[in-house]
Structure 1
Amino acid sequence: MQIAGFGVEAWLNEHEREATTDISQSSVAALTLGQVAALDGDDGQALATQLQTVRLDYGWIEGSPEFKRLVSSQYQHVPAANVLQTNGATGANQLAIYSLIEPGDHVIALYPTYQQLYDIPKSLGAQVDYWRLHEERGWLPTLAELKQLIRPDTKMILLNNAMNPTGALLDEAMLRQVVALARSVGAYVLADEVYQPLDDTPFTSVADLYEHGIAVNSLSKTYSVPGIRIGWVATPDATLADRFRKYRDYTMICGGVVSDRLAVQVLRHREKILARNRQIMTTNLAIVKKWVAAEPRAQMVFPRGVPVSCVALDIPLDDETFCLRLLRDTGVLLVPGSRFDLPGHARLGYCTDAQALQRGLRLLSDYLRQFDAKN
């Protein structure tokens, strides 16, 4: 099996520890273990006591009953039995694609978004057609293009909703049209939904719109605990969930009993966490909007309530060279847009600490001034 290098992950693996000001990440500022424990309002004593008595065996293989129930409660049509815990959303995407896609299958992938969603099907021998995003349309695709791409033998449509790195969102009306097209040919629709909006932007999961919808999510992005590596795949289709179970046995055993317990703690207190993260996003997006308005070499289609954004840079060299020099000379880390097949852009993860964001944007602007002197 041949597979392309994973652009964004390779970049971060190599460079994120070099940064002194990291404004590249796509999660809301991570919670500490102490903050998660203290969500009960008792300085973390209850959770600490529970963890002291946890037996470090394999635990619940598919996730504990409470985990599955709490995840199921976020959907209208997904019973707890159809929720399978995974190693983050990357594990859920890999499981669903591995379970369903075979050599010669035809799939359609929203592009460019998260590379995993099109390069894993390619590595399995599928024919992958791209449903392209358009910056001039607010980083949204057109339904007309999807109608041209879909075929009677299309096996799956893969979405990243909301989208990494652009922060765009397919609304319910467009999702319903995607589902109608998929249903007409019997195709699955997989949606990686880890960037569920934090503001009042309406959001509908594909699992609540389509009997063959596959929703992928995790606690990494909008829930601020990427370090526990807990995600899930959810579907209203019991037969499909059983298929995932079979393939899951080959890819993982369990998420780990400690991580599961922490995941339950997060999900129990999801409203507290989302309120905290909503405030971070609102505050920091205002900082970014003010910076873009004042920075002549930056333009942005602003994200739809999600913690990741994509900035267009007016610079006389390629984005990867620029980002490498920026890191070397200032300690500021961005992800080059080329790592997402978006040359001339960079991923700006603006939901970090507000002071770090302001420092990073100031240093970025100062660095951009070198190009003004050459005009």
Structure 2
Amino acid sequence: MKYERMPIEVDSVTDATIESLGLKIPNLTLLYNEHRGNTQLRQLIASDANVSDGDVLITSGAAGALFIIATSQLGGDGIRKQPGSATAADSHLVVVRPNYATNLETPKAIGCETTFIDVTFEAGFQPDLAEIEAAIKPNTRLVSVTCPHNPTGTSMSAEALTRLVAITKERGVLLLVDETYRDISYTPKLPVAASLADHVISVCSLSKSFGIPGIRVGWIITKNKQLQETFLAAKEQISISGSVIDEWIAEQVLSQRESILGKTQEEMKARLALVEAWISQEELLEWVKPTGGVVCFPRMKKEPARGLASFYERLLNKYGTYVGPGHWFGLSDTYFRLGYGWPSRDQLEAGMKAISQALRDEDT
């Protein structure tokens, strides 16, 4: 595999602390944990997803889950082909772009043949299902989407998700749905995709919606028992098991799921309203309003003074404000990802004011 550094940026709700969660870590025995993950933790995840706990594998964050899926299903350069295994030469990926970096960079590192389905501002950042279907080839192994979408915060409709499940079923390919932002939704929440069919794989974590990326707990859900065994084998080779402490904290957090998410949901609605009010008055920007998550992807209506590079430089160095430029996601830097979940409300409002100033400032 050929690794390259990728952009990693803050894009979650405000980070929680042990104290803010009301937790006191007990005198845990620091043994090898259950390889699939703590049973009670998997049961909590399964009950929300409408699957069984045997359909859940705990991983090191969503990033760990995506790595396991890509490396086990897409193969790689230099891997000797064994019966039933995939290699870069005989596996093909269809992936919606822009996307979270791991969904793009890990297949690239493997050397997998990839077809990108680019969503557009004009289409409301909705994937074209006909284009996805047309991209599926005889050697396609996996179709990969995010919902809610990263970096735009848009979501597929229930009808579109159901149709995508049907398309991939009919064509005999796996469907990966990265649901990292699913727990914060401003429209009726979609079902966990993996609950809809046994060829569907869902990935999620506690990093984004719950604001605890530091414990590195994510999960893979699939009702396909053979896939689960493969994913477990991959996890065992990578880490054997997860952290006893991390999974204990995750269990306590998910035991309070409704209480924690209820407060977070209300706060994120209020912050989204602040962003909406700002963009409605900002004549230099336009957007597609998010329906989930804590990020949005505004577009500049015209290039700012002294060009795009100068804009991002003065935004950071002069105004102390940081956003994710469009090239991180394979698009023009006239787009940028704005996260409104992590800073305080005051910091968010100050950051939006700084963006408006930097768009007009003619300093280099």
TM-score, normalised with respect to structure 2: 0.90
Flag the 1:364–1:99 CA change in 2: closer, same or farther, 3 A.
Answer: same
More helix by share: 1
Per-residue deviation, residues 282-341 of structure 1 (Å, max 9, x unmatched): 111111111111111111111112211111123335545422321111111111111111
Flag the 1:60–1:319 CA change in 2: closer, same or farther, 3 A.
Answer: farther
Alignment of 1:227-266 (within 5 A): 227-266=214-253
Query: Can you give the 5+ residue segments of structure 1 that lack an aligned partner in the other structure?
Result: 13-24, 39-46
What amino acid does structure 2 have at the position aligned with 1:252? S
Stretch deviating more after TM superposition (230-239 or 111-120): 111-120
Per-residue deviation, residues 238-278 of structure 1 (Å, max 9, x unmatched): 11101111111111223311111110011000111111111
Match of 2:320 in 1: 331
Q: 1:369 and 2:356 equivalent?
A: no
Asked whether the equivalents of residues 35 and 236 of structure 2 are also in contact (C-alpha less than 8 Å), the reply is no
| Aligned partner of residue 248 in structure 1, secondary structure | helix
Query: Can you give the 5+ residue segments of structure 2 that lack an aligned partner in the other structure?
Result: 76-87
Flag the 1:118–1:363 CA change in 2: closer, same or farther, 3 A.
Answer: closer
Asked whether the equivalents of residues 107 and 154 of structure 1 are also in contact (C-alpha less than 8 Å), the reply is yes
What amino acid does structure 2 have at the position aligned with 1:297? L
Q: 1:283 and 2:244 equivalent?
A: no
Q: 1:294 and 2:267 equivalent?
A: no
Per-residue deviation, residues 204-259 of structure 1 (Å, max 9, x unmatched): 22202221111100001111211111100111111110111111111122331111
Q: 1:315 and 2:303 equivalent?
A: yes
The number of aligned residues is 346
Match of 1:137 in 2: 123
What is the alpha-carbon distance in structure 2 between the residues aligned to residue 194 and residue 99 of structure 1? 20
Match of 2:80 in 1: none
Offset of 1:125 from its aligned partner?
A: 2.7
Match of 1:100 in 2: 73
Match of 2:52 in 1: 79
Flag the 1:291–1:253 CA change in 2: closer, same or farther, 3 A.
Answer: same
Q: 1:64 and 2:38 equivalent?
A: yes
What is the alpha-carbon distance in structure 1 between the residues aligned to residue 337 and residue 67 of structure 2? 23
Percent identity over the alignment? Answer: 30
- Given candidates 2, 7, 14, the residue that maps to 1:29 is 14
Flag the 1:80–1:320 CA change in 2: closer, same or farther, 3 A.
Answer: farther
Alignment of 1:113-124 (within 5 A): 113-124=99-110
Match of 2:111 in 1: 125
What is the alpha-carbon distance in structure 2 between the residues aligned to residue 150 and residue 269 of structure 1? 41
Match of 1:20 in 2: none
TM-score, normalised with respect to structure 1: 0.88
Flag the 1:227–1:321 CA change in 2: closer, same or farther, 3 A.
Answer: farther
What is the alpha-carbon distance in structure 1 between the residues aligned to residue 156 and residue 323 of structure 2? 25
What is the alpha-carbon distance in structure 1 between the residues aligned to residue 106 and residue 358 of structure 2? 37
| Aligned partner of residue 211 in structure 2, secondary structure | coil
What amino acid does structure 2 have at the position aligned with 1:288? V
Match of 1:355 in 2: 346
Aligned alpha-carbon RMSD (Å): 1.8
What is the alpha-carbon distance in structure 1 between the residues aligned to residue 33 and residue 131 of structure 2? 46
Asked whether the equivalents of residues 295 and 340 of structure 2 are also in contact (C-alpha less than 8 Å), the reply is yes
Asked whether the equivalents of residues 147 and 177 of structure 2 are also in contact (C-alpha less than 8 Å), the reply is yes
